[in-house]
Amino acid sequence: MKQSNRIKAMVKEEQEESSNRPDNTAFTQQRLPAWQPILSASIVIPMFVLIGAAFIGVGVALFITSRDIQLQELDYTGDDSEHPCFKCRTNTEKCTCSMTFSIPTLFKGPVFFYYGLTNYFQNQRKYGASKDDNQLYGDLNYFTSPSTDCDPYTRDSKNMPIVPCGALANSMFNDTFTLSHTVNGVQKIVPLDGKGIAWWTDYNIKYRNPSITPLINAFNGTKKPTNWPKPIYELDTTDVYNNGFINQDFLVWMRRAALPDFRKLYRRITHDDYAAGLPAGNYTLTIAYNYPVHSFNGKKKVVLSNVSWMGGKNDFLGIAYIVVGSMCVVMSIVMLIVYARFKFGEDD
Amino acid sequence: MLRRRLNRLFGGDEGRVHSRTIYVGHKSCPPNEAYIPPKFCDNRIVSSKYTVWNFLPKNLFEQFRRIANFYFLIIFLVQVIVDTPTSPVTSGLPLFFVITVTAVKQGYEDWLRHKADREVNEYRVSVLEDGRRIRKMSAKIKVGDIVEVEEDETFPCDLILLQSSRDDGTCFVTTASLDGESNHKTHYTVADLESDLQYLSATIECEQPQPDLYKFVGRMHIYRNSQEPDVRSLGPENLLLKGANLKNTQKICGVAVYTGMETKMALNYQGKSQKRSAVEKSINAFLLVYLFILVSKALVCTTLKYVWQSKHDETWYNEKTQKEKETNQYLKMFTDFLSFMVLFNFIIPVSMYVTVEMQKFLGSFFITWDKDFFDPEIQEGALVNTSDLNEELGQVEYIFTDKTGTLTQNNMEFIECCIDGFQYKHGDGSSELDGFCVTDGPVNKIQQKAGREREELFLRALCLCHTVQVKESTKQRQDQNDQFDQIDQVDGLGLDHGFLDPPQKEMGFIASSPDEIALVKGAMRYGFTFLGLESKNMKILNRNKDVETYELLHVLNFDPVRRRMSVMVRSKTGDILLFCKGADSSIFPQVRQEEVERIRMHVERNATEGYRTLCVAYKHLSAQEYARADADLREARLALQDREEKLMAVYNRVETDMILIGATAVEDQLQDEAAQTMEALQGAGMKVWVLTGDKMETAKSTCYACGLFKKNTELLELTLRTLEDGGRSREERLHDLLLEYHKKAVQDAPPVKLGITRSWSVAGHDYGFIIDGASLSMVLSSSSEPNSRRYKNLFLQICQNCTSVLCCRMAPLQKAQIVKLVKNSKGNPITLSIGDGANDVSMILEAHVGIGIKGKEGRQAVKNSDYAIPKLKHLKKLLLAHGHLYYVRIAHLVQYFFYKNLCFILPQFLYQFFCGYSQQPLYDAAYLTMYNICFTSMPILAYSLLEQHICIEVLLEHSTLYRDIAKNAMLRWKLFLYWTALGIFHGLVFFFGVRFLFSNPALQDNGQVFGNWSYGTIVFTVLVFTVTLKLALDTRHWTWINHFVIWGSLAFYVFFSFFWGGIIWPFLKHQRLYFVFANMLSSVSAWLVIILLILLSLLPEILLVVLRKPRGPHARQMKHRLPSSGTSTIFMLSQTASTHSFSWSD
């Protein structure tokens, strides 16, 4: 096959005959110095006890932390005819409903205001891919010719390009909430902070408005998404840094949830009197009910929660740590027994 | 070309098909006839496979012929055509990488081949045309050209030697590049040719090209002045092969007979058949399982998708496009199925093939590098011809070994001789020799001696009857009288003659077989020295220091069928003598019977002592007898067809009615550590069969010496001797014997419990089986078909129950037959053949693993072997250490690869249940692509190259460890299921661990939530760390490389994730992972869940490692101390035999 090579190799071999003694290095002789760990019971049992103790410790800490997190969940879907939002369920017009609730003790701040949806598959592949990152990066070239990924939300019925295109943007959550605190019979609006609810990098780098002022000029010849009541450059007319693609509500929506039951951050309560938390008392939540969910049996809810160093309330981690920690301890005991038997057997 | 084919088609004349006619110098012969130049291929050598133009298509075609590559190509094409979840890049990139690397490698190899071809083809050679010397390119040589070659040059094509610059019409060549033999070989010119080749008018008729290097038959017709043409026979001794080198000869001229791709060299290098290892078969089986898993996953998902869709109508937020609505439902289902296939295709990783191949290729270097395999005598180490079978070395169950040169050194020493029934034993003191040989001859004083006449005749016979050459050296024959101070060299091997003074004189012998040299040297000790052959005259220096000259008339060459060789010489006085030597069985029938008995006794005694015996006979030929023999021989040599049969017939006719003069005994020493090696191999559970062409007695004694047969071994013999006992027909006797042995060895033997066979408990039921070639052929080809199958089975069963089997008097093909028989027997045991000579090639090729010993009988065995080692003793380390380690490494590699891809893809599968079966990938495309290429590939590669779960010394010391991995123990279905279960467990832990964490996706202390890519990244991080740490747990041998690679790939993963998420990549459509990893690390919960899940996954593993029976060397050593303490107990027992109260305690 490789005859010519072979001849050469032979010739070479002849020439190097004296020097073809293999190298006597540790590597070639497979004698590299090596650490040969043996997981003997005498190492593993104390190790397991230690790990188990540490895990139980962490688990208890997590569990207590999680337990201390306060949570107020309000389902406002209005499936129940008694529910104040029932009337809005099928109403296609603008509809407002309000719910009252009371907080028995101080709800420690900062309090985070989440909205939650269930049975909403934001993680579907086609839905998730249905956006044009170049548009969202402020590239005007893609305003007039959006990516076909956005189909069927690329152009409207008059074949005008939609900005921002795609199913993801089109389905943006558009219920709005106001929270008021009843102080001495007077409704006092709790100021909600819409800043800092999206990832810093999304807000500052990943999404960008076109560098045209006023912003509206950039959107000449484009249409707003069909489901939106107002175009993107009017999302927040009060704050130029919260408008257009860098509107934080928009950013939060655009970061797709991992699971069909999810919650997203809506606002933070960090201002004025409520910086330390929501004082005990009665509160009214007023909902501008726009977002239809009953067609897919979804639920909408509002969640008020404070967070700890581990994030929101989540009992799973604490319990899991305690369980795994206890398993380690139990295992070490089992091992001790087995090892003792085994060792005695050996000694016999 | 076309014309030739047409000729063949229309049954052109017979001669054309069987032979070719060559016109020397392209001259018409006889001169008046019209000369039609025959068509032959030119002398261009094409070893390259590709050209610039066909490289791409041809190479791609060949690569995609491999099932795995084809599979990935299909996946890639599906991704391109169908709208699939992952971009074509994810599978295209690895495939492209693999294909490119292979193509570049093959392209480079082919470029080297092109270069080498060009070098060979454009090499300038001298061609004589019309008396002028013309330089032309080697490629342009045509059949019939007269080519001139100078010293040290390589022959450009196969030439018939016409003229040599040496006076005696010979030339010397080395064929190192053809068969590896580096000794000089003599070739002869065609006799009586014109001195000026310009006027030579001749044709050569010879056979069509065939690959056998040592066979050539041809005939040359020389036309002189319109006379009847002279006819000369041509044999291999006249043929100079392409690739050989001219040595010791200034220049030669030859006529080209075979050119280019028709030369014997080119015909010989047409690749061997591929051997596949058992591990590869296991891989393929596992692959099928995974393919099944893959398809069923895709099916399940597709089905569920449509079930789900029937419940969940199209949602308002995710409407279908117009095109989707219009597409046929079934077509959509099909494309969905394909999409799922693509999504899960990573379960069968393209990188596994690359890693396995790399492991094999790089791993084989450790064999060539091993300095324990280096033999200072031949200055060479081990050689690996194929790296595909490394792991097979750890699975060997049967070893078939050659005797001569393998178990023994093939280093012959003359021990004694017997002349006329009197024994002549040579004392070993060399000084003694000096005193004796001149005056008294080699007579053992105590014993009687034969007549001086006979003695000298015998020694002359030894000196004449051989094909030994005297090696010429620069200081040639300076001092002829000092013959006792000669150094004898066998292929550069100085023999130990303590009193020699090397610088004085250099003289050595070259022969095809070391026996002959031993005999010539034996004769030398007794005062007769062979001085060499000069132009057909053999010179001998006799005891009286006179030079005797004999004219060499004919050599009747040795062949394995006749098992003897003869020479015919004419002495000074004109007597014509025939000397013959050969195996006893082939000489005795040819001599007068009266002397036989006395000598037979000696021969048999010598044979049982393990010596190789030869008998020597002679006869006087009268002038008429000689004339007839001479004529017959010449005629037979000229025959073009059946030349060998004809020659054999003449030989047999001449070699009759001889007079037996004596016998010789030559010792073939055992190889170093042969007995220890055999013991270790048997201890490792391997069965050793000796297959030899030698006599039964000799082979038997070698077996005893090697410890294959022990004192208490009961030998079951099935040879011609036992068959002829009892006075019945052989067939019947064969039947009876087989049944009897079967009863003894198989039925009466207690059932051997597998696995508990302990090497020290073999006493009692130890059988050895001996069979010879003739009996074997009776067993294998019994007259009736059902009988033959039954005999075969009986034979196999007997053999499998014997500890050792000896097959003697085997022809090379029979050796292969036996190997094949065992190979295909029940359970398909893995066989290994080891041998050193050309006669072992067939069995080396037949066995699963073929091992060549770099011995003295040329390089044939080495060339055809899979591995070559210098000495038999190296086999122990090769199998027990290297084989064992390679097997463990590759088995673990395979299992681990399947495991890590199962737990890689399982979470992605599970995620489908949570994303509406929408083929949403869990991991980012970069992770999908890099997982097998970068993040987890290096640690397993390092492991599979460096792991020593038990260190080499312990493996060598305790050969029983080899049994632990016998029968593909690490790739059984049970273990495969264990690994699969582990993979599933890990996959479940990864996915659901994170799933529960994400029940509240607000995982950061600033209240922000994580999305789906964070989910996937957490799972992926846990995955990478777990599979890497799982390997770390399995690693028993941590070198710095392991540390570097394991911690390095984890660090690389972290670094890469930062890097990948840290930049807005302009070429990406979606910046999915932008800062996802960094954000993940900023969450304490993510950290905690990662740590938790890694530990949870590894917990059972750690528990298993601890609770499993200790496998470390300590435990083994402890176990092994038991028998020794046992023997000491026995010793104590014998000491205290009177105390009856002594009880066994264990």
Average pLDDT rounded to a whole number, residues B733-754: 74
Q: Contact A263/B920, CB-based, under 8 Å?
A: no
Q: What ipTM was reported for this prediction?
A: 0.93
Say how many Å lie between the first and final Cα of chain A, rounded: 64
Contacts of A18 in chain B (CB under 8 A): 379
Find the largest Cα–Cα distance for chain A.
106
Query: Which of A30, A295, A347 should we substitute to test contact with B (largest number of B Cβ atoms within 10 Å)?
Result: A30
- Asked if residue B753 has pLDDT above 80, the reply is no
Average pLDDT rounded to a whole number, residues B385-403: 88
CA distance A207 to chain B (A): 10
Q: Contact B1000/A314, CB-based, under 8 Å?
A: yes
CA-based nearest residue to B700, from B607, B614, B767: B607
Contacts of B1033 in chain A (CB under 8 A): 39
- Say what the pLDDT of residue B7 is: 44
On whether the CB atoms of residues B209 and B218 are closer than 8 A, the answer is no
H/E segment holding residue B423: strand B422-425
In a domain, A27, yes or no: no
Query: Which of B955, B1106, B1111, B1122 should we substitute to test contact with A (largest number of A Cβ atoms within 10 Å)?
Result: B1106
- The total number of structural domains in chain A stands at 2
Residues comprising chain B, all counted: 1146
Query: Which of B318, B384, B943 should we substitute to test contact with A (largest number of A Cβ atoms within 10 Å)?
Result: B318
Average pLDDT rounded to a whole number, residues B31-51: 74
**Facing residue for A1 by CB, picked from B270, B373, B1114:** B270
Residue B769 is given by DSSP the state: E
In a domain, A106, yes or no: yes
On whether the CB atoms of residues B1024 and B936 are closer than 8 A, the answer is yes
Which residue reads 């075969």 in tokens?
A: B792
Same domain assignment for residues A262 and A324? no
Q: Contact B915/A197, CB-based, under 8 Å?
A: no
Q: What share of chain A is helix, strand, coil (3-state, %, to 5)?
A: 40, 20, 40
- Asked if residue B300 has pLDDT above 90, the reply is yes
Write the DSSP assignment of A33-86 as a string of letters. Answer: --B-----HHHHHHHHHHHHHHHHHHHHHHHHHHHHS-EEEEE----STTSTTG
Average predicted confidence (pLDDT) for chain B: 80
Last residue of a domain, one of A290, A306, A322: A306
**Distance, CA of B161 to CA of B157 (rounded, Å):** 12
**Distance, CA of B547 to CA of B114 (rounded, Å):** 56
Establish whether the linkage from the previous residue to B503 is cis, with ω within 30° of 0. no
Q: What share of chain B is helix, strand, coil (3-state, %, to 5)?
A: 50, 20, 30
- Say what the pLDDT of residue B692 is: 84
Last residue of a domain, one of A306, A321, A336: A306
**Facing residue for B1002 by CB, picked from A38, A259, A311:** A311
Question: Cβ of B594: how many Cβ atoms within 10 Å?
Answer: 9
**Distance, CA of B719 to CA of B733 (rounded, Å):** 11
- Say what the pLDDT of residue B750 is: 59
CA distance B1135 to chain A (A): 25
**Facing residue for B113 by CB, picked from A2, A51, A130:** A2
Say whether B729 sits in a helix, a strand or coil: coil
CA distance A73 to chain B (A): 13
Q: In the structure encoding, which two tokens stand for residue B741, read together? A: 């042995």
On whether the CB atoms of residues B146 and B127 are closer than 8 A, the answer is yes
Same domain assignment for residues A221 and A270? yes
CA-based nearest residue to B994, from B911, B1055, B904, B1077: B911
Nearest C-alpha in B relative to A198? B1008
- More confident call, B279 vs B35: B279
Q: Contact B1096/A324, CB-based, under 8 Å?
A: yes
Q: Contact B381/A20, CB-based, under 8 Å?
A: yes
- Say what the pLDDT of residue A14 is: 46
Instruction: Name, in order, each residue with C-beta under 8 angstroms of B1114's C-beta and a sequence gap of 6 or more.
Output: A38
CA distance A301 to chain B (A): 14
Query: Which of A28, A126, A162 should we substitute to test contact with B (largest number of B Cβ atoms within 10 Å)?
Result: A126
Q: Contact A199/B1075, CB-based, under 8 Å?
A: yes
- Say what the pLDDT of residue A179 is: 93
Beta-ladder partners of B549: B539
pLDDT digits (tens, 9 = 90+) for B988-1028: 999 999 999 999 999 988 889 999 999 999 999 999 999 99
- More confident call, B661 vs B944: B944
Average pLDDT rounded to a whole number, residues B191-213: 78
Question: Cβ of B447: how many Cβ atoms within 10 Å?
Answer: 10
Same domain assignment for residues A64 and A85? no
Which residue reads 């480079």 in tokens?
A: B108
Instruction: Give B766: exposed, middle or buried? Use CB within 10 Å, 0-12, 13-18, 19+.
Output: middle
- Chains A–B, number of C-beta pairs less than 8 Å apart: 289
CA-based nearest residue to A312, from A121, A111, A176, A118: A111
Q: What is the pTM of this model?
A: 0.79
**Distance, CA of B53 to CA of B37 (rounded, Å):** 33
**CA B105 and chain centroid, separation:** 24
CA distance B1103 to chain A (A): 8
Residues of B with catalytic annotation?
402
Per-residue confidence of chain A (348 residues) as pLDDT tens digits? 444 454 454 444 444 444 567 788 888 888 888 888 877 777 888 989 999 999 999 999 999 999 999 999 999 988 888 888 888 887 767 889 999 999 999 998 889 999 999 999 999 998 988 999 888 988 888 898 888 888 888 888 888 999 899 999 999 998 999 999 998 888 999 999 888 899 999 999 999 899 888 888 888 889 999 889 899 999 888 888 898 999 999 999 999 999 999 999 999 998 878 888 899 999 999 999 989 888 888 999 999 999 898 888 999 999 999 999 999 999 888 888 877 776 644 443
On whether the CB atoms of residues B249 and B164 are closer than 8 A, the answer is yes
Same domain assignment for residues A198 and A331? no
In a domain, A16, yes or no: no
Same domain assignment for residues A77 and A147? yes
In a domain, A99, yes or no: yes
Contacts of B951 in chain A (CB under 8 A): 36
CA atoms within 13 A on the CB side of A234: 8
Domain hosting A60: range is: 43-69+309-347
Q: Contact A262/B1009, CB-based, under 8 Å?
A: yes
Q: Contact A258/B1014, CB-based, under 8 Å?
A: yes
- Say what the pLDDT of residue B553 is: 85
Say whether B673 sits in a helix, a strand or coil: coil
Same domain assignment for residues A78 and A226? yes
Same domain assignment for residues A63 and A93? no
- Asked if residue B1036 has pLDDT above 90, the reply is no
pLDDT digits (tens, 9 = 90+) for B1078-1097: 999 999 999 999 999 999 99
Same domain assignment for residues A238 and A286? yes
**Distance, CA of A154 to CA of B96 (rounded, Å):** 34
**Facing residue for A29 by CB, picked from B320, B371, B916:** B371
Question: Cβ of B921: how many Cβ atoms within 10 Å?
Answer: 26
- Asked if residue B1125 has pLDDT above 70, the reply is no
Q: In what order do the strands lie in the sheet with B239-240?
A: B132-137, B124-129, B146-150, B251-258, B158-164, B239-240
pLDDT digits (tens, 9 = 90+) for B207-223: 888 777 777 888 888 88
**Facing residue for B1007 by CB, picked from A20, A34, A268:** A268
Q: Contact A21/B374, CB-based, under 8 Å?
A: yes
Same domain assignment for residues A227 and A328? no
In a domain, A95, yes or no: yes
Contacts of A1 in chain B (CB under 8 A): 47, 269-271
Contacts of A260 in chain B (CB under 8 A): 914-916
CA distance A2 to chain B (A): 6
Least confident of A180-194, B368-382, B577-591, B693-707: B693-707
Same domain assignment for residues A161 and A220? yes
Write the DSSP assignment of B44-109 as a string of letters. Answer: --------TTTHHHHHHHHHHTSHHHHHHHHHHHHHHHS--SS-HHHHHHHHHHHHHHHHHHHHHH
**Facing residue for A124 by CB, picked from B915, B1040, B1112:** B915
In a domain, A31, yes or no: no
Q: Contact A320/B996, CB-based, under 8 Å?
A: yes
Which residue reads 């058992």 in tokens?
A: B278
Same domain assignment for residues A176 and A324? no
- Asked if residue B345 has pLDDT above 80, the reply is yes
Same domain assignment for residues A58 and A110? no
Contacts of B374 in chain A (CB under 8 A): 21-22
**Facing residue for B269 by CB, picked from A1, A126, A259:** A1
- Asked if residue B1137 has pLDDT above 50, the reply is no
Least confident of B740-744, B841-845, B1139-1143: B1139-1143
In a domain, A271, yes or no: yes
Q: Contact B1001/A259, CB-based, under 8 Å?
A: yes
In a domain, A23, yes or no: no
Q: Contact B371/A44, CB-based, under 8 Å?
A: no
- Asked if residue B1 has pLDDT above 80, the reply is no
Share of chain B above pLDDT 90, in %: 21
Q: Contact B317/A167, CB-based, under 8 Å?
A: yes
